[in-house]
Structure 1
Amino acid sequence: MRWMFRIAGALVIAAVIGVVALLMLPHDRIVGIATEKIEARTGRDLSVSGDVSLSFWPVLGVKTGPVTLGNAEWAGTEPMLTASGLSIGVSAVELLTGSVRVTGIVAEDPVLRLQTAPDGRANWVFDTVSADATATVSGDSVAAQSADRAIALDLLELRNGTLIYSDVDAAPVTLSGVDLELRWPDPDGPAALAATVTPVSAPIGINAEFTHPTALIDGAVSPVALQVKLPSGTMDFNGRANIAGELAGRLNLISKDIDKSTSALGLSSIELPAGWGPAVALTAEVTYTTDGRLSVREMRSELGENRLNGVVDVVLGDVPQVTAKLSAGLLTFPAAAAASSAGASSASSAAPGGAGDGWSRTPIDASALGLVNGSIRLSAEGIQTPDLTVGQVQLRLEVDRSRGVLHLEDVAVFNGRLTGQLVANNRSGLSVGGALTAADIDILQVQRDLLGMERVEGKAAGELEFLGVGQSVDAIMRSLSGKGGLRVGRGVILGLDLDRLMRGDAASGGTTVFDSLGASFTMREGNVFNEDLLLQLSNYRADGNGRIGLGARDIDYTFTPIALRARSGQGISLPIRIKGPWGAPRIWPDLEAAAKANADAQLDEIEEEAKAKLQQKLAEELDVQIEEGQDAEEVLKDRLEDEAKNQLLKLLGRN
């Protein structure tokens, strides 16, 4: 606000110096004296055109036509101030008692240009002159004394003004329709300001109180109270500030519609997650310094249904650096997830393979990764969406040059725990990846919430590494690569009764209880490949191998249970084929593969039986007794070698 006080001071001094002469001089001479005083006080050229009128009692004043005040030499050719008219009034009654009270300074249709230079200079800081110089210009010693006298300002008023602010290396900011009133009745007392500005379309009301305005003008820190009335909300600040813009104090923001409030300020629309607005309330201790550092402490915020507390530090720049430590209760995202699901459904209808079987092809806008750099830590009691509920979480987000890494330090999800990290990189096209470790995960809940299917119950542990590239969910899912492993304790397979299948009943349905399940897998081009699935049951064992299409959302898998006690412990297998889309896969016993496998088993059994009979016949012919625990094949082999040796000796005549 320094520019306001300085301009007001220059106009006040011009009105007071030589005020006695106003009663005796012609109008053009009065204008000349005022012009000389303002130019001497500001170091700027002043031109006044049009008619000049005077009033003498009870208000001593001057009213002019169009006025132009020049700019600083370095600030360009445009004037600093223009107005269609200027009025200055002084209380004649109090002037007679030796005090000076300016009853009003009114500028009609003013256009005020405020600028800063690269070296820190501001065009509202004037090149002032001494009181002696002022006295020389007026030729009146009484006027020189008046320049040093304390002056009361009842009112400084700007009507229908335009404010143009140009900062270094920034686009000019223009505020039109500015109405402003500054009241400073006691030179040693507080000043009050009331203003209305219209940055875009809706008017904004500003009220401020300055406890020590003189100290502010001199660059000192002074108590300040500020209230901004926004469409659908208010913003209050109570604390201390200086004229350079540094401040420290309590900030309170209440808005019924945060988008309307920020749009009225000419700021970009704030796109909060659905369920996090539009009503917003914020209170915090705020400190700002001229080197662009913003500190927020004791923050308490209400964002729609959510509560978020903590501390935030921001270093402003081309890309702000943010450091934050936040805590929250249950964070809800009700409509965001629903909208995402609706979008996925819409995209699915256009995907090949029928409605409902495709991922969303809507382009992903990941430009937000480049808006800030920094580190944000969050501790929350939980996160809830219509499709997914996460328990207590400890998260840390690191963002650097459009690359974000979300560290899952401890996440309670699917009734288990999840740790690891997720990465989103938008430096040269979007890619996502991660390395996760899970324990005690309810795999039925995983299938239900993420895949829309229910096939296996149990608690799982495992690890996963993955990488996907693309500008849509569909492209990412079809590009996934990586590896992982899965281990499940006791559980249940739904929709599959191995006992019935092994008895030759091809009907589907039922359940199968298993003791353990383990598998490793690799991922290539959006497909999961597994060759070593092993399922252990009390009377069965099952192997598995095949492909699960993450991109195409389909499956082609062979699951082969083996009845361990069948055929006198020799076992019998019945491969089961699972093929089709996730939502409705076909499950049937592969009888051709089963026949081949069991035929091979029967051939092995016949071969073993024939081998046993041959060994028995040889033992009888060779008169060999095979004791329990001996290898019949080895005993017969030794006996045949001995018999061959004896026959060779006989042939040589050595017997």
Structure 2
Amino acid sequence: MKRIGLSLAAIAAALIALVLTVPWLTPESVLRDTFTREIVALTGRTPVIEGQVHLAWAPLPTLMIEKVTIPAAEGLPPLLVADKMQGTLRLASLVIGRIEISGLMLKRASIGLTAGKNGIRSWDFKEGVLAEAAAGRFDKPMPVKTIRLVDGSIRYDDSALGRATSVSVDDVTFAWAGRSDAMSAAGVINWRNREAEIAVALADPASLIAGGKSDMRARIKGDTLNLATSGTLDGAGRLDGKVSASGTSLRDTLRWFGFGLPAGRSLAAYDLQSPLTLDHSAISLNEVQLSLDGNEAEGSLTVEFGKERPKVSGTLAADTLDLSAYSDELQLADGRPRKWRADHISINSLLVSDLDLRISAGETTIDKVRLGRAAATVSTRNGQLELALGEAVAYGGTLKGNIALKPSDKMTELAAAASFEGVDMGSALGDLFGFRRLEGTGTGTMAVNGTGASIAELSRSLQGRADISVAGGSLVGIDLASLMQKIERRPLSARFESSYGGRTTFDLAKASFKIADGMAKTADCRMENGSLSVSLTGDANIALRSLDMAGVANWSDADAANPFRLPFRVYGGWEVPVVEPDTEALIRRSGAAAPLLRSFIRPGRDVTQETGKTPPASAAQ
């Protein structure tokens, strides 16, 4: 037994000596030929080796090759350029005196996948194992079973479509042993300065290369996106399966994909689940379950390729939508007192693709604003963003509207139209604009257009028209009928009526405004309520959010025997306007009490003989 043991030890020592000796006795030219033979067997293309070729032993017997290029076909850029390659040698082959490579590690390598305008692709092989596999004649083992790419890059360039993208590879390993084996790739990549872990597995790559089908699984895990997909992939690149995607910020994910979105608190956490159909022309998500910013919706989405700009279209429906997270972006005014926003309007980031998205909800909330059943369309086409609201239930009535925004040099062109019917004006104006001085059921139309770099600039350029009628309502903050009765009886009491309170009810109020250069002018604004009628003329300054109007209130008692006319003014900010009688008209009406009334209303001034311009209110008498 001892002799048998010594014999086996001697044989083992001889084999080890052979393994250690044979490579060192192999000339460099043979090493070059060995490496060239393996690459040709795999790709059918002869590599160009500009650097040295030598052997190393740690941690395994390894063939070291420097500065290697694998050419592409038909004059396209090289398929691969590597600073260094390391070929792991098969120990079993070394024992019998042969040098064979089982795996390759590429350092600082660039892989170029180029599709030329003539249809030629850099990864189309005419000879070698890969070409035989593509022709369905794959009956040989893979000459190189694993390829590891470290500190490299993969670039895809489609000259016909004008598309190109590049991915940095930190460390990725591809493994495929033979025809009956699965193919896998796993590792860490870096795209647009974001790291992500990837994993891809093909159950039957040989069938796929030959034009057949293979089950496929893929996963991407990163800071901004977690994506998993599985299904059946065919040789034409069509995938039928399912997909799930999630992340903490859709805004960050869209930025990663190249959308220049500004900072904001909306478009945050998201989760998407759907069956998937993917081919070279489109991605179709036919039964989407989408969660975004706490809202749940379902529907379908399609992303179409093949043109200069991708097109996103689809339909989403939700029981409830809370859009309060978007109120910062939708806010038109800010500050105290409130002013139109002066920051620059930029919609260019929303125009990188064509969009046709329809959204419906049973109930919609935006901060204080509440809408019932509503449907809206968001579209971008011909360099223009369009928002259209179909008939929406709102504040007891219905609302329709559309807005179109189009960049023009450094400005934005605006065109907007809206109509409403049966709307509770008190709640609507209060929630939308903070104006709480008008109540009633309103109906109206509006159409405006303008150009500006900000909301403030747009407000100064508005042109258009607005027509409004309100039934069964009231003016809040003043009781004109009560006031007129007081003044009729005691003109001197007007001095103390700086804030009247109460409300003026009416049966019907109508107003028509012509809008020019941000100024809404009316010569036809009237209100009727039995013994009281009111007419107004003047301006509503949209840019300054202020009023400067003159009016006349006509009041008569029950038998209409003693009619009374009171001119008054409405001025100041439209959120809290001032309504006051025209003091000049009161003085003239007071007769013998005029001198006393003058000094009482204007302490320290003797104006009983003053003359001057007639105030706007008196002009309306």
Q: Same fold (TM over 0.5)?
A: yes
Q: Is 2:339 the partner of 1:358?
A: yes
CA distance in 1, matches of 2:265, 2:550: 43
CA distance in 1, matches of 2:51, 2:403: 69
CA offsets, 1:104-160, max 9 Å, x none?
3333443333322112222222331799xxxxxxxxxxxxxxx95344865332333
Q: Is 2:205 the partner of 1:206?
A: no
CA distance in 1, matches of 2:590, 2:384: 56
Residues 175 and 397 (structure 1 numbering): CA distance in 2 closer, same or farther, change over 3 Å? closer
Residues 153 and 128 (structure 1 numbering): CA distance in 2 closer, same or farther, change over 3 Å? closer
Residues 332 and 49 (structure 1 numbering): CA distance in 2 closer, same or farther, change over 3 Å? same
Q: Is 2:264 the partner of 1:248?
A: no
Query: Within 5 A, what are the aligned runs for 1:122-521?
Result: 122-128=121-127, 149-151=140-142, 155-168=146-159, 170=162, 173-185=165-177, 187-231=179-223, 233-242=225-234, 245-258=237-250, 267-268=258-259, 274-277=265-268, 279-290=269-280, 292-316=281-305, 317-338=307-328, 344-345=333-334, 356=337, 358-368=339-349, 370-427=351-408, 429-503=411-485, 504=487, 505-506=493-494, 507=497, 508-521=500-513
CA distance in 2, matches of 1:329, 1:339: 23
Letter in 2 for 1:121: I
Letter in 2 for 1:106: M
Aligned length: 546
Cα pair 2:93 2:100 within 8 Å, conserved: no
CA distance in 2, matches of 1:530, 1:177: 67
CA distance in 1, matches of 2:403, 2:590: 47
Query: Within 5 A, what are the aligned runs for 1:607-626?
Result: none
Letter in 2 for 1:364: I
Equivalent residue number for residue 84 of structure 2: 84
CA offsets, 1:260-279, max 9 Å, x none?
5566x6744655863431x2
Letter in 1 for 2:548: D
Cα pair 1:443 1:458 within 8 Å, conserved: yes
Cα pair 2:548 2:572 within 8 Å, conserved: yes
Letter in 1 for 2:275: E
Could you say what secondary structure the match of 1:29 adopts?
A: helix
Residues 445 and 188 (structure 1 numbering): CA distance in 2 closer, same or farther, change over 3 Å? same
Cα pair 1:573 1:598 within 8 Å, conserved: no
Q: Which moved further from structure 2: 579-588 or 224-233? A: 579-588
Residues 248 and 483 (structure 1 numbering): CA distance in 2 closer, same or farther, change over 3 Å? same
CA distance in 2, matches of 1:157, 1:106: 4
Equivalent residue number for residue 117 of structure 2: 118
Cα pair 2:56 2:64 within 8 Å, conserved: no
CA RMSD of aligned residues (A): 3.6
Identical-residue share of aligned pairs (%): 20
Residues 272 and 260 (structure 1 numbering): CA distance in 2 closer, same or farther, change over 3 Å? closer
Equivalent residue number for residue 49 of structure 2: 47
Post-superposition offset of 1:286: 2.3
CA distance in 1, matches of 2:75, 2:320: 54
Residues 49 and 362 (structure 1 numbering): CA distance in 2 closer, same or farther, change over 3 Å? closer
CA distance in 2, matches of 1:443, 1:93: 89
CA distance in 2, matches of 1:81, 1:225: 29
CA distance in 2, matches of 1:101, 1:87: 9
Letter in 1 for 2:90: V
Post-superposition offset of 1:219: 3.2
Equivalent residue number for residue 32 of structure 1: 33
CA distance in 1, matches of 2:217, 2:387: 40
Cα pair 1:357 1:581 within 8 Å, conserved: no
Post-superposition offset of 1:253: 0.8
Letter in 2 for 1:533: C
Could you say what secondary structure the match of 1:464 adopts?
A: strand
Equivalent residue number for residue 142 of structure 1: none
Q: Which moved further from structure 2: 165-174 or 205-214? A: 165-174
Post-superposition offset of 1:326: 1.5
Structure with higher strand content: 2
Post-superposition offset of 1:303: 1.2
CA offsets, 1:215-256, max 9 Å, x none?
122233321100111125421010122455432221111212
CA distance in 2, matches of 1:580, 1:38: 84
Cα pair 2:314 2:357 within 8 Å, conserved: yes
Q: TM-score, normalised by structure 1?
A: 0.74
CA distance in 1, matches of 2:94, 2:33: 25
CA offsets, 1:551-605, max 9 Å, x none?
1211122232212337852522112211222244332212434677999xxxxxx
Cα pair 2:531 2:558 within 8 Å, conserved: no
CA distance in 2, matches of 1:155, 1:231: 28
Letter in 1 for 2:109: P
CA distance in 1, matches of 2:302, 2:246: 21
Structure with higher helix content: 1
Residues 171 and 388 (structure 1 numbering): CA distance in 2 closer, same or farther, change over 3 Å? same
Which residue of the other structure, out of 527, 534, 545, is the alignment partner of 1:553? 545
Residues 91 and 397 (structure 1 numbering): CA distance in 2 closer, same or farther, change over 3 Å? same
Post-superposition offset of 1:54: 8.7
Cα pair 1:113 1:164 within 8 Å, conserved: yes
CA distance in 1, matches of 2:95, 2:162: 46
Q: TM-score, normalised by structure 2?
A: 0.78
Could you say what secondary structure the match of 2:547 adopts?
A: strand
CA distance in 2, matches of 1:553, 1:204: 51
* Higher CA-based Rg: 1
Residues 320 and 48 (structure 1 numbering): CA distance in 2 closer, same or farther, change over 3 Å? closer
List alignment gaps of at least 5 residues for structure 1: 1-20, 132-146, 347-354, 600-655
CA distance in 2, matches of 1:214, 1:582: 74
